[in-house]
Structure 1
């Protein structure tokens, strides 16, 4: 019987310098608890490395495809790193939550900042740190995939990430990955925590459920009003009606509820 964390639908955001071992830790955590956690796959416009697999490590897309998704509002957050775009989609979160699993994300510092600004997102944040920059440099050189200029850029970026992580309250947990088994145990203990959240905090799913009920009632009242007063163009009423889920409120899926919550009325043409 697998252990279910209290924060059952709350995404866990893993961040840290390139080469610190984030992906290894995430993979091993999922291998040990495959019924509980799933690694959410982000989009990027950078080319894949030799050992990376499409739709496993990233959704590798063209610049045009990425911009199309961005224009559709598909991303919770997106950033630019080394000239390439990275984005975390709503769908990647919904997919894990609808399967009753905890989504895990590997996101850089800029992505973490963007996530924290997104008020609708309730997540837990973990920073993976190297023992020191010398160890990190050795790991980066050991990859053999980048030239000297790229390595120096990554080291400079790592210094900024370490400074950001040092600010109180930025991350819920900081793990120094100088010993893989020890670091994995720390991450596993945190991820599987059965301690309840403070009463003022709610999971991402709980927030969506609450907003759904409120917004559904509000839209229903607005539609009735628009039909009765007959001062709005028919296209506006039709646009409002199509935003409602086809299933009754009690039977709406999480994705239907999520989409209704994030309806932007400015996009309804009248």
Structure 2
């Protein structure tokens, strides 16, 4: 497969798949090559989350206004909270031609991105889990889930994995069973497909 000038790296996977950890490793190793698109959300900040860094925390009214103006590339609602990636957030990263914008989005978001591929020129990576049992253990170990929210996340994960492992939807699928191995696989794949990461 020839190397191309991708503008975005789309990472998708169920909550608990390790996407955030892989993104942190990638941006730590290649700080000048990647930029992270900061999403908007109506949910409350978790301890340690900073507005404008983790998310742009906004009211439902602000989010709905932005949606009505067509300001989002993708948006979704989960557990009563709205989430979205704005065109402005991505543009602020890709306006620097040497940077690739990382989008950490769910399957619903990927479906929306696929109709806007011309602007984004994305490379799609699905981060999977070794098993549903492992995923459940990872989510429980966070100590942030109630029985109800855990059940919702597991149900969402099942649908997400079904979509993520459908042939042709993603450019590659990486099973995150070992962080170092998974990261090396992700890095090798990206470097094989994106021409301007290493100058």
Q: What is the match of residue 125 of structure 2?
A: 126
Q: Which has the higher contact order (CA 8 A, sep 6+)?
A: 2
Q: What is the match of residue 107 of structure 2?
A: 109
Cα distance in 1 for residues equivalent to 2:141 and 2:26: 24
Equivalenced residue count is: 192
Cα distance in 1 for residues equivalent to 2:80 and 2:57: 14
Gaps of 5+ in 1: 1-5, 197-270
Matches within 5 A, 1:21-36: 21-36=18-33
Q: What is the match of residue 41 of structure 2?
A: 44
Cα distance, 1:35–1:119 mapped onto 2, change above 3 Å: closer
Q: What is the match of residue 15 of structure 2?
A: 18
- Indicate whether 1:152 and 2:151 are aligned: yes
Gaps of 5+ in 2: none
Q: What is the match of residue 142 of structure 2?
A: 143
Cα distance in 2 for residues equivalent to 1:158 and 1:164: 10
Cα distance, 1:32–1:195 mapped onto 2, change above 3 Å: closer
More strand by share: 2
- TM-score normalised by length of structure 1: 0.67
Higher Cα radius of gyration:
1
C-alpha root-mean-square deviation of aligned residues, in Å? Answer: 1.7
Instruction: Return 153-162 or 117-126, whichever deviates more.
Output: 117-126
Cα distance, 1:8–1:157 mapped onto 2, change above 3 Å: same
Matches within 5 A, 1:120-269: 120=118, 121-194=120-193
Matched position secondary structure for 2:192:
coil
